[in-house]
Structure 1
Amino acid sequence: MKEDDKNPKQPNPENPYKTLDLKLTKVKDWAAGIPAVQASISDLIEDKTVARGGKALFKMNQMGGFDCPSCAWPDPDDERSPLGEYCENGVKALAEEATTKKVTPEFFKENSVYALSQLTDYEIGKKGRLTDPLYLPKNGTHYEAISWDAAFQKIADSLNELDSPNEAIFYTSGRTSNEASFLYQLFAKEFGTNNMPDCSNMCHETSGTALRPTIGIGKGTVKLEDFYDTDLIVIIGQNPGTNAPRMMSALEKGKKNGAKIIAINPLPEAGLMGFKNPQEIKGIIGNPVKLADLYLPVKINGDMALLKALEMLLLDYEKKNPGKILDQQFIHEKTTGFEAYLKQFDNYNFDQFVEESGVPKEAIQQAAEMLAFKNRIIVCWGMGITQQHNGVDLVKEILNILLLKGSIGKAGAGVCPVRGHSNVQGNRTMLIDEKPTQEQLDRLQNYFGFNPPREKGYDVVHAIKAMHNEKAKVLFCMGGNFLSATPDTTYTTEALRKLNLTVSVSTKLNRTHLIHGKESLILPTLSRSDMDIVNGELQIITTENSMGVVQDSKGVLKAVSDNLINETQIVCRMAMATLGDKSVVDWNKYHNDYDAVRDAIEQCIPGFENYNVRARQKGGFYLPNAARDGKFNTKQFGDRVPFTLTTTPVNQLAADEYLMATTRTHDQFNTTIYGLDDRYRGIKNERRVIFMNEKDIEKEGFKNGDKVDLFNYDDGIERIAPLFIIVAYPIPEKNTVTYFPETNVLVSVNNVVKESNMPASKYVKIKIKKHEESIYERIKS
């Protein structure tokens, strides 16, 4: 043990404040191709799993294989590429799962929590797979091995000592299977709380909040095959080249069949411009396929002005071409509120919208022409929309355009929120939700025989505040990296440290294990690619993709440790230890039989009839989606979809203020950092960068490559992200982009999306000042 490790020190809540040797390379105007193949191979080599991981790749996303642990983009319903139905990000995710590197109890004897906190998130994540349950005692400096029985007893004691079940919080990441998710929420409810925040609260809560009361379902309405046969695809606030690379194959296929594509984003992203399909010979040696026919460089939060400008032009075209632009029959038969919607345009100024959007008038007119004379339109969006402070209104305004065109509820048309984590949509279907409906709770009560709590629980933002105000005492994290995923890092760190106990179910080490409650447990679990053997039989689990397909997943790799437990059994053993004889649920049955879990799901959640049979069908099955079939059903509007009246925000900035949006590099997935490059944006070996417009750099007296400190002053609090390097980039003036989690510290816990209460990480007001070494003392104070 090192001398410094003998006394407890507060671990670093953030990545170390240090810059590396930044190298700027050529910004790409196309994605994938040979570089993607090379990067994939290098990751397998780095994680020492070329043979083991390479073998597993041929089973990833294949029928009868296992579901990719990365994004939730759907697999083709019919044929799947024999070369590999995966992307570069999928290979990176698998490499870290299949790695032969291990983090054993001996590792923690040699490394204190404080020493590990001095590492970057990238270095922490590359240590390898966790092999044994670990415990950090009160005032302890090192994690130590603990038996599974002792770990579950500690959890049970901590939960049963609470004054109220609502002092416990049960967080969920998106990778958890349907079976484990269902049991997890069942345990929380039988324990007595709906405090079930999840990663949806930080990515697509906005989408569900907007869609559920308008079209009757909080999900997208398109299938993958709709991309192959459509007229127009609009991609707004999303970067498929990095966030959902397999989506580009669908875009390519749609282009070949005649579709046009409009890309809307503050940054010109390589994946929206061109694509070399690495699964085809011509994609490796040939020229890239041009994807976007039109790129609209919208300002941060200029989206609403842009959408309304497009609507004004569509309405004008309709006046000049009566009955040829708008789908008047659809509007008459399927919608409500059209007259009130039309009236708002009497007070609008087109030129003002153009200015507020930041998009040249000619480009907006060109986009409107593409929309006007197309009938089947798909609109895709990501967190560039959902993490704006007016994100719910933005989704509703997107829907308004589709309603004008009758472009929903028919083939080749509809809404497509592009989900992130592999089963984040399935988690919500399995009732991982802090606000379950009374109908959902009634079905659980009727089947299991206990009355679940009826009051709304905490979402992520409310959970952080509850921990900070000491209204919560225990945080259980089913996967994920809670600290690095959430906003307001300093505030969240203070909240976590006030807890009595933090528990993390994980496959690898992450920063949340180092920023903990008074006591902490790490429970290692199987990954998606690991063989899950129960009572001598290889099990299947199920997941739901972005388009509502439920399919089975079966691991193929021998686990790196014999002391790992699957998530389903972790939940069951926690339940048995905590609830004991008070429980009316047969947790032991579910512990030993996944089919029994699916039988229970079938009885409690509509759409899962004959679940065990259909889950094993080739390609799985689609869940019901009435809006996809043109049938809409909402409590307020019945079988009609409302046109929504929204307002256009006034984005006022002081002379020295900028708008900042956080994003991720091509070398990361959510909070998992695979490497230090952002190949498509020309960044190598660095993450602490801020992209700025050249005019802004010159105006501030800076130059490309200068080091600066970033400040936010929301709520009257000074938040500081020190030591960033300026990189000149084609981005609208007064707009900046940085990577998360490095700038999560600047996102106030109170800077949220209206209605959905999501962190508004794409709308952060900042000030930029020349870097000073004295800044570190201000941070400490």
Structure 2
Amino acid sequence: MAHRRPATGRVSTLSEAKASSRAARSRQLCRSRRKAVSCSGAAARQSCSRATWTWSDYALEEAGRLTHPLRYDAETDHFVPIAWDEAFERAGAALRSVADPNQVEFYTSGRASNEAAFLYQLFAREFGTNNFPDCSNMCHEATSVGLPKSIGVGKGTVTLEDFDETDAVFSFGHNPGTNHPRMLGTLREVSRRGKPIIAINPLRERGLERFQDPQAPVEMVTLGATPISSAYHLIKVGGDLALLKGMMKALFEADALDMAAGGAGLLDREFIHMHTSGIDALRADIDATDWDAICRVSGLSRDAIESIARGYWTAPRAIFCYGMGITQHRHGTETVQQMANLLLLRGNFGREGAGICPVRGHSNVQGDRTVGITEIPTEHFLERLDRAFGITSPRAHGHNAVEAIAAMRDGTAKAFIGLGGNLAVAISDPQTTFPAFRKLDLSVQIVTKLNRTCLLTARESLVLPCLGRTEIDVQASGRQAVTVEDSMSVVHASRGMLKPVSDTLRSEPAIVAGLARAAVPNSVVAWDELVADYDRIRDKIEEVFPDFYDFNERVRVKGGFRLRVGASQRQWDTPDGLAHFLVTELPLDVEREGHPYLLTTIRSHDQYNTTIYGLNDRYRGITGRRDVVFLNADDLRELGLEHGDRVDIVAGERELRGQTAVAHDIARGSIAAYYPEANGLIALDEHDHASGTPSYKSTPVRVRRAA
């Protein structure tokens, strides 16, 4: 008989105490290990690949900062310290030996600054490839791919000031309490102005319900909190596209009734006539979409959908916010485009208090794209880059993240350089990804701490420790600042104030330059001059990207500056100069035979992307563990299961075994498990066909009692 846990949200068991004990032992190991990765000789040889592979991702994070370059020694199965010059020479020799530059994958994490990312793309293009798998491929690529076809730009159109003027905020598929905590203050002020915030999410999340502001003395003293959502709808996982089509159907029907009664209608007809194309095709598509199908796929009743739509058309100005609950689906790109359709119908672009707001996670995932990290560069950009540096960039499109892993799997990629991040764990399908990394001739990881991707050793594996952004960065001209771009397209400077943990650390721009000099001995780029003074890097960014005009002057102004976003001024940077209503069919394949549930992966509160800071998820009542799956209580009963039972999650031939079932307020037909632990259920070829984003949040599965 399966062991059952007490029916409480906390899932408290004896195994929890064991887990805590293991965590304590891990922390003890990690404290001793800080020396292992920081020094040389016998101590460093403790950092053994096989031994560290058994550590949890949490234990790897707890191990602390790296302080010296490391090289994997296969004979002893240890990482050993080496000098920077030797590290660069080894990496350069391996890169020079590849038969084709397109056999190298240049991965970028959104942690990288604009300056580091710009130098990195310059390095790769002078080397001869456009292979740029990027963290954006796994999060908001649907935004980057979908919105340009709709409104001419793959970015949000709102500013923080727009939230002061809006009449309603619609929050789709994101959990600001855990993933975007700074946004809670903004939503709190919207709520305190008495404006509605409509939350649409498969799970009920505390951060979308109420917020206690630590900077509000009254709330802290009284233990009070500000309500966030005025309405909360538990949509079925993968049902957002259906909801959006339902909202448009309700809007068209209400518009027709208003017109028939002698009213002006609910659509912004002047805006549609002057600024858009495709309205007739959209109306025909929505008219042909059946209400029963909309309700079945979304998991919401018609009354609920019409209520959400009414909240939209009664708000003179509305903002749509969304996160990866929208983009990480097989139909993520189309969903983003339908969101744009709905906003266009009422002219909610290019005016105060209205627009679209994709909420990104990493501090500079948007900026990396802006300064050239893309596998599909435009000819205009490449021409300007070549003219600025006297190089000849390759023109063929490169690899995104999924394509890079496939090339490594197939043996056509020979080398991988990671500018931050933990790609092997972040991407789907570890069954494919992990062996693919081990087939490489060269792996270079530019990181602050060890992660699991570092441990997937290639023939030549190097770990190059870099400064953190909070640390003082001194180059030949003195202390330096770097820049980042936030989700509102605002570019601002960041200057480290803390003493580096080691004098041997180098900045990301300096490491990129060192690799470039070693890999391209006859480089025409003045790498040393650029790294000596980051103002020179910014001058070159301005030369290549005109929107960065007066870059160094403007970024020194408090708060920085906002880049041009054409759609914010009703300027549509599309081939015909218009915004486009785009049509897509309602996806009816969200469930597959024998797999009646849709799985979404989620982060815990003590987690940032793949980085596990702790084993608690306090807002969901989980303590000391991550081996849980959240299900609707009625679904549990239907399965003959109870809260606390051990279950397996099955996706085809893939299984995640021995999870603890937790009854949670989640939409029926939906289940949730932690990322990245559940990534093994998602095959590499399960992704959005347009953006290439893995379908982390729409995997058909079945649930069975564990043996």
Q: Would the aligned equivalents of 1:105 and 1:144 in 2 still touch at CA under 8 Å?
A: no
Match of 1:160 in 2: 96
Report 1:665-680 matches (<5 A). 665-680=604-619
Unaligned ranges ≥5, structure 2: 12-25
Cα distance in 2 for partners of 1:256, 1:698 equals 40
Cα distance in 1 for partners of 2:643, 2:35 equals 39
Q: Would the aligned equivalents of 2:248 and 2:286 in 1 still touch at CA under 8 Å?
A: no
Q: 2:133 aligns with which of 197, 202, 211?
A: 197
Match of 2:62 in 1: 126
Match of 1:60 in 2: none
SS at match of 2:546: coil
Q: Would the aligned equivalents of 1:101 and 1:128 in 2 still touch at CA under 8 Å?
A: no
Q: 2:502 aligns with which of 557, 561, 566?
A: 561
Q: Note if 1:339 corresponds to 2:289.
A: no
**How many Å apart are 1:743 and its aligned residue?**
0.8
Report 1:298-697 matches (<5 A). 298-322=235-259, 323-535=264-476, 537-580=478-521, 582-635=522-575, 638-650=576-588, 651-655=590-594, 657-697=596-636
Q: Note if 1:732 corresponds to 2:667.
A: yes
Q: Would the aligned equivalents of 1:137 and 1:518 in 2 still touch at CA under 8 Å?
A: no
Distance of aligned partners of 1:701 and 1:101 in 2 relative to their CA distance in 1, 3 Å threshold? farther
Cα distance in 2 for partners of 1:656, 1:764 equals 9
**How many Å apart are 1:25 and its aligned residue?**
4.6
SS at match of 2:582: coil
Using the TM superposition, name which of 405-414 and 138-147 deviates more. 138-147
Report 1:764-775 matches (<5 A). 764-772=699-707
SS at match of 2:512: helix
Match of 1:748 in 2: 683
Aligned partner letter, 1:131 = T
Distance of aligned partners of 1:283 and 1:324 in 2 relative to their CA distance in 1, 3 Å threshold? farther
Cα distance in 1 for partners of 2:142, 2:612 equals 25
Aligned partner letter, 1:483 = A
Q: Would the aligned equivalents of 1:242 and 1:666 in 2 still touch at CA under 8 Å?
A: yes
SS at match of 1:557: coil
SS at match of 1:129: coil
Cα distance in 2 for partners of 1:100, 1:514 equals 16
Match of 1:64 in 2: none
Cα distance in 2 for partners of 1:488, 1:22 equals 33
SS at match of 1:743: helix
Aligned partner letter, 2:563 = L
Cα distance in 1 for partners of 2:497, 2:557 equals 19
**How many Å apart are 1:537 and its aligned residue?**
1.6
Aligned partner letter, 2:647 = V
Cα distance in 2 for partners of 1:425, 1:22 equals 44
Cα distance in 2 for partners of 1:699, 1:258 equals 41
Cα distance in 2 for partners of 1:226, 1:102 equals 50
Match of 1:290 in 2: 227
Deviation per residue, 1:100-138 (Å, 9 max, x gap): 988314554124111111111011100111010000034
Deviation per residue, 1:40-62 (Å, 9 max, x gap): xxxxxx999xxxxxxxxxxxxxx
Q: Note if 1:271 corresponds to 2:207.
A: yes
User: What percent identity do the matched residue pairs reach?
Assistant: 42
Using the TM superposition, name which of 622-631 and 762-771 deviates more. 762-771
SS at match of 2:89: helix
| Pairs aligned (count) | 680
Q: Would the aligned equivalents of 1:23 and 1:685 in 2 still touch at CA under 8 Å?
A: no
Q: Would the aligned equivalents of 1:102 and 1:127 in 2 still touch at CA under 8 Å?
A: no
Q: Would the aligned equivalents of 1:117 and 1:511 in 2 still touch at CA under 8 Å?
A: yes
Unaligned ranges ≥5, structure 1: 1-18, 28-45, 49-95, 773-781
Distance of aligned partners of 1:140 and 1:173 in 2 relative to their CA distance in 1, 3 Å threshold? farther
Using the TM superposition, name which of 487-496 and 760-769 deviates more. 760-769
Q: Would the aligned equivalents of 1:196 and 1:434 in 2 still touch at CA under 8 Å?
A: yes
TM-score (norm 1): 0.84
Aligned partner letter, 1:686 = R
SS at match of 2:677: coil
Match of 2:167 in 1: 231
Match of 1:701 in 2: 640
Using the TM superposition, name which of 183-192 and 300-309 deviates more. 300-309
Cα distance in 2 for partners of 1:133, 1:476 equals 15
Distance of aligned partners of 1:346 and 1:363 in 2 relative to their CA distance in 1, 3 Å threshold? closer
Cα distance in 2 for partners of 1:349, 1:563 equals 64
Cα distance in 2 for partners of 1:137, 1:519 equals 9
**How many Å apart are 1:26 and its aligned residue?**
6.7
Q: Would the aligned equivalents of 1:102 and 1:130 in 2 still touch at CA under 8 Å?
A: no
Q: Would the aligned equivalents of 2:69 and 2:83 in 1 still touch at CA under 8 Å?
A: yes
Cα distance in 1 for partners of 2:37, 2:72 equals 15
Cα distance in 2 for partners of 1:201, 1:497 equals 22
**How many Å apart are 1:284 and its aligned residue?**
1.4
Match of 1:57 in 2: none
Q: Would the aligned equivalents of 1:101 and 1:127 in 2 still touch at CA under 8 Å?
A: no
Cα distance in 2 for partners of 1:630, 1:238 equals 27
TM-score (norm 2): 0.93
**How many Å apart are 1:734 and its aligned residue?**
2.2
Aligned partner letter, 2:89 = Q
Cα distance in 1 for partners of 2:123, 2:7 equals 50
Cα distance in 1 for partners of 2:91, 2:55 equals 29
Deviation per residue, 1:13-64 (Å, 9 max, x gap): xxxxxx9x9995579xxxxxxxxxxxxxxxxxx999xxxxxxxxxxxxxxxx
Provide the aligned C-alpha RMSD in A.
2.1
Using the TM superposition, name which of 594-603 and 349-358 deviates more. 349-358
**How many Å apart are 1:673 and its aligned residue?**
0.5
Cα distance in 1 for partners of 2:37, 2:6 equals 30
Aligned partner letter, 1:741 = P
